A and B are shown apart, each in its own frame.
Chain A
């Protein structure tokens, strides 16, 4: 979306007093029945989780308020660990089907840090270690474009709708929600009011509500020698403040999820992404998490990220007319009509079609692989020329779908876009690692036996070899 379109849509949203959807389809598939939610409260900068809300959606969450989140004793996390392990086992039994809703990206960051702390911790119980590993796997999955496991409710709202406030204000999920709430008559004022309190997985700490500083003080007090009565009062107060804080985060997530589904965007055309996401997750859960450290692992991860990106873009363009319209303006999609079908034997190879478009900008080049949107037809661009009409004429050799006459017949209006190359070179990179290629895996370059030094000027040799 261009800056100008973004701006004008904001003007319109301000005028309409509500958020406006900017996509015609959802980038997230429908929730499976097993969908769960997680919300956290961390200690600022510490990143240590001090409260967690978790559970199935549509029910009250289970809450854990941690009295000593910095301490080594993590038995208080066991209920969460067991819940997570159970959810993962269910996913493994159902081909990786898993959907975890979180209020925002900060929750995933906090879970990832939790993972870092316990996934290799030999002093922790096996359940806590497994929890740590699962957290790392989930956080890793969340970085893939188009992934269908983690539903970051704030990000989903930002990706699918625009409000009548500044983009930076859209960063505050609660403020953004004011633009989705029909009951709010003045979303501008309401959003600014809501933004007083953070909505990023931390406690409120405004002059009128210093929850964070209070917890800090109470924890200090609890460490000193208190009478049993006073100690339990202090601990009760800590639990109360933390529970209220994490419940607020949970409620935020539930409201954002409702607002997102409330947009009523169709969830079709996401099968490839669902499949990719499930495969990645199942593989990681079964094989374990291995952060990319060696060159080959980094290369594989880059390929995985890149192919996820390509497949996601293709799926989005195929599914979303509004996005296709924008891509057409930039030449990434060619919309035109079939001028002629060159196919000596109907329904057989060889087959090529000439497509003419009135677009003046097309990005595809000779020998690019392309697909016809909404069909199984794919081919290779063989020629691009200026049409007498002033538009552009593209010749495509059809590789797949030569029988789709309905698509290939002259006069048919079609849309063409580049085919996503989504190949991950796992084998190539792993084999290179096995061979221990020195440039990437060695510490020093091998010394070679010098050949005959200066056996005449290479340039002179080349000159002599030039054809007359």
Chain B
């Protein structure tokens, strides 16, 4: 799985300060390939989507889109403000199937036309399935990101389309893991940003796209859509925007360093920004972690912030009394460490 489209923007939004991530986004091909070329050994951890979840995702979409998207029409009727039978649907994969760029461009053309039709008051579909959008980052390599929401839903409340994403993971009441929520909101944020761009394209900047998106999870019983969740995307959209700005900065620096070579070749000259969260989502995390090895940040973000990413040896020196405290802060830390050591029966020396 390579870092493309919304996935790339989500990752950039989550860690905008990481230049290594910037290089991974610039580099074509899968992340593991990037890892292998930089580190020189095969990536030995789990990576990418499992067959089982791919199958489920595909089946969920199939169920949702079948019968002219009957289940989706039923789930989204309250947002559209019409009876399910009166909702118009257009599945752009019927117009132009395929995942190659020519198909994407064709779907982008149709999407733009439908947005224009809707703004002009012409009969446009209420649900556009598999639309195509993009976010430009031109000029430069990777001049744009293709962004493809699952659905664009015309919401009566705004008189405009908003992006909706189908997520096949089961939601019982409303429990979605925080990590999943952050990721899917950022995906919607990227889609909303791309929709802003496309509306801007067809209406000359006159349309204000609401920072709203819809999440459609799966019901525990069978692969049926749950009641859609209306998501507040103000924060996510801004986070993605900052991620794009960061990418442009990284790209400039990487281009300056690589002199035409492939981005991975300059990785060692880049500044990684290792965070705890990287361990759960980035193939390069262990490699980047070496930049904080033996330092307090290796114990987590909080440790790095509170102790100022000093060497762990120094902190334990304070505990053992082998290091002289250089400040009131260090003195207090030494005292507290010794107190805790006594409390837990850890021999200081």
Direct contact of A and B (CB under 8 A): yes
A: residues with CB less than 8 A from B are 3-12, 14-16, 20-21, 43-47, 109, 112-113, 116-117, 164-169, 192, 196, 198, 204-208, 212-213, 215-217, 291, 322
Are the C-beta atoms of A15 and B220 separated by less than 8 Å?
no
- Residues of chain B within 8 A of A21, CB atoms compared: 344
10 of the cross-chain contacts (CB-CB < 8 Å) are: A7-B303, A10-B299, A11-B303, A15-B319, A47-B170, A47-B220, A109-B172, A192-B286, A196-B46, A212-B52
A-B pairs with beta carbons under 8 A, tally: 128
Binary A-proximity of B221-237 (CB < 8 A = 1, otherwise 0):
10000000000000000
**CB of B265 closer than 8 Å to a CB of A:** no
Are the C-beta atoms of A20 and B51 separated by less than 8 Å?
no
**CB of B277 closer than 8 Å to a CB of A:** yes
Q: Which residue from A5, A166, A192, A204 sits with its C-beta under 8 Å from B299?
A: A166
B: residues with CB less than 8 A from A are 42-47, 50-53, 55-57, 168-170, 172-173, 175, 220-221, 276-277, 279-280, 286, 296, 298-303, 306-307, 312, 315-316, 319, 333, 336-337, 340-341, 343-344, 346
- Residues of chain A within 8 A of B277, CB atoms compared: 168
C-alpha spacing A212/B51, complex, angstroms: 8
C-alpha spacing A46/B50, complex, angstroms: 11
Q: A8-B340, A12-B340, A208-B44 are in contact. List 8 more A-B contacts (CB 8 A).
A: A10-B303, A45-B169, A47-B170, A112-B172, A166-B301, A204-B46, A207-B47, A215-B52
Are the C-beta atoms of A206 and B52 separated by less than 8 Å?
no
Are the C-beta atoms of B299 and A196 separated by less than 8 Å?
no
Identity of the chain A residue whose Cβ is nearest the Cβ of B280 in the assembled complex: A168
- Residues of chain B within 8 A of A116, CB atoms compared: 172, 220-221
C-alpha spacing A123/B168, complex, angstroms: 25
Are the C-beta atoms of A11 and B299 separated by less than 8 Å?
yes
Identity of the chain B residue whose Cβ is nearest the Cβ of A325 in the assembled complex: B343
Are the C-beta atoms of B57 and A217 separated by less than 8 Å?
no
C-alpha spacing A14/B293, complex, angstroms: 13
Shortest Cβ distance from residue A238 to the other chain B in the assembled complex, whole angstroms: 13
Are the C-beta atoms of B299 and A14 separated by less than 8 Å?
yes
**Closest 3 A-B residue pairs measured CB to CB?**
A166-B300, A116-B220, A45-B53
C-alpha spacing A216/B286, complex, angstroms: 30
- Residues of chain A within 8 A of B341, CB atoms compared: 12
> Quick one: given A112-B172, A207-B44, are A44 and B50 in contact (CB under 8 Å)?
yes
Are the C-beta atoms of B220 and A4 separated by less than 8 Å?
no
Q: Which residue from A8, A196, A198, A207 sits with its C-beta under 8 Å from B333?
A: A8
- Residues of chain A within 8 A of B346, CB atoms compared: 12, 15-16, 20
- Residues of chain B within 8 A of A14, CB atoms compared: 299, 312
Are the C-beta atoms of A205 and B50 separated by less than 8 Å?
yes
Instruction: Specify the main secondary structure of chain B where it touches its partner.
Output: helix
Q: Which residue from B46, B56, B173, B286 sits with its C-beta under 8 Å from A46?
A: B56
Are the C-beta atoms of A44 and B299 separated by less than 8 Å?
no
Shortest Cβ distance from residue B63 to the other chain A in the assembled complex, whole angstroms: 13
> Quick one: given A4-B306, A4-B336, are A212 and B276 in contact (CB under 8 Å)?
no
C-alpha spacing A432/B114, complex, angstroms: 51
Q: Which residue from A6, A8, A164, A168 sits with its C-beta under 8 Å from B279?
A: A168
Shortest Cβ distance from residue A249 to the other chain B in the assembled complex, whole angstroms: 16
> Quick one: given A3-B306, A15-B319, are A44 and B53 in contact (CB under 8 Å)?
yes
- Residues of chain B within 8 A of A213, CB atoms compared: 50-52
Q: Which residue from B56, B172, B221, B316 sits with its C-beta under 8 Å from A15?
A: B316
- Residues of chain A within 8 A of B46, CB atoms compared: 196, 198, 204-207
Are the C-beta atoms of B44 and A7 separated by less than 8 Å?
no
- Residues of chain A within 8 A of B43, CB atoms compared: 207
Are the C-beta atoms of B52 and A113 separated by less than 8 Å?
no
Are the C-beta atoms of B172 and A113 separated by less than 8 Å?
yes
Identity of the chain B residue whose Cβ is nearest the Cβ of A3 in the assembled complex: B302
Are the C-beta atoms of A11 and B337 separated by less than 8 Å?
yes
Are the C-beta atoms of A45 and B57 separated by less than 8 Å?
yes
Are the C-beta atoms of A206 and B45 separated by less than 8 Å?
yes
Are the C-beta atoms of B221 and A196 separated by less than 8 Å?
no
Are the C-beta atoms of B55 and A9 separated by less than 8 Å?
no
> Quick one: given A11-B296, A12-B337, A206-B44, are A167 and B302 in contact (CB under 8 Å)?
yes
Identity of the chain A residue whose Cβ is nearest the Cβ of B297 in the assembled complex: A166
Identity of the chain B residue whose Cβ is nearest the Cβ of A143 in the assembled complex: B175
Which of B42, B45, B57, B170 has the most A CB atoms < 10 Å from its CB? B170
C-alpha spacing A213/B48, complex, angstroms: 12
Are the C-beta atoms of A167 and B44 separated by less than 8 Å?
no
C-alpha spacing A349/B298, complex, angstroms: 60
C-alpha spacing A20/B298, complex, angstroms: 18
- Residues of chain A within 8 A of B315, CB atoms compared: 11
Shortest Cβ distance from residue A211 to the other chain B in the assembled complex, whole angstroms: 10
C-alpha spacing A166/B293, complex, angstroms: 12
- Residues of chain B within 8 A of A112, CB atoms compared: 172
- Residues of chain A within 8 A of B55, CB atoms compared: 216
C-alpha spacing A8/B344, complex, angstroms: 12
Shortest Cβ distance from residue B94 to the other chain A in the assembled complex, whole angstroms: 27
- Residues of chain B within 8 A of A47, CB atoms compared: 169-170, 220
- Residues of chain B within 8 A of A291, CB atoms compared: 173
Shortest Cβ distance from residue A322 to the other chain B in the assembled complex, whole angstroms: 8
C-alpha spacing A11/B338, complex, angstroms: 12
Shortest Cβ distance from residue A468 to the other chain B in the assembled complex, whole angstroms: 53
- Residues of chain A within 8 A of B50, CB atoms compared: 44, 205, 212-213, 216
Shortest Cβ distance from residue B12 to the other chain A in the assembled complex, whole angstroms: 20
- Residues of chain A within 8 A of B44, CB atoms compared: 196, 206-208
C-alpha spacing A358/B283, complex, angstroms: 53
C-alpha spacing A455/B279, complex, angstroms: 70
- Residues of chain B within 8 A of A212, CB atoms compared: 50-52
- Residues of chain A within 8 A of B47, CB atoms compared: 207
Are the C-beta atoms of B51 and A166 separated by less than 8 Å?
no
C-alpha spacing A367/B41, complex, angstroms: 68
Are the C-beta atoms of B303 and A216 separated by less than 8 Å?
no
- Residues of chain B within 8 A of A43, CB atoms compared: 52, 56
- Residues of chain A within 8 A of B169, CB atoms compared: 45, 47
Identity of the chain B residue whose Cβ is nearest the Cβ of A118 in the assembled complex: B221
Shortest Cβ distance from residue B348 to the other chain A in the assembled complex, whole angstroms: 9
Are the C-beta atoms of B52 and A11 separated by less than 8 Å?
no
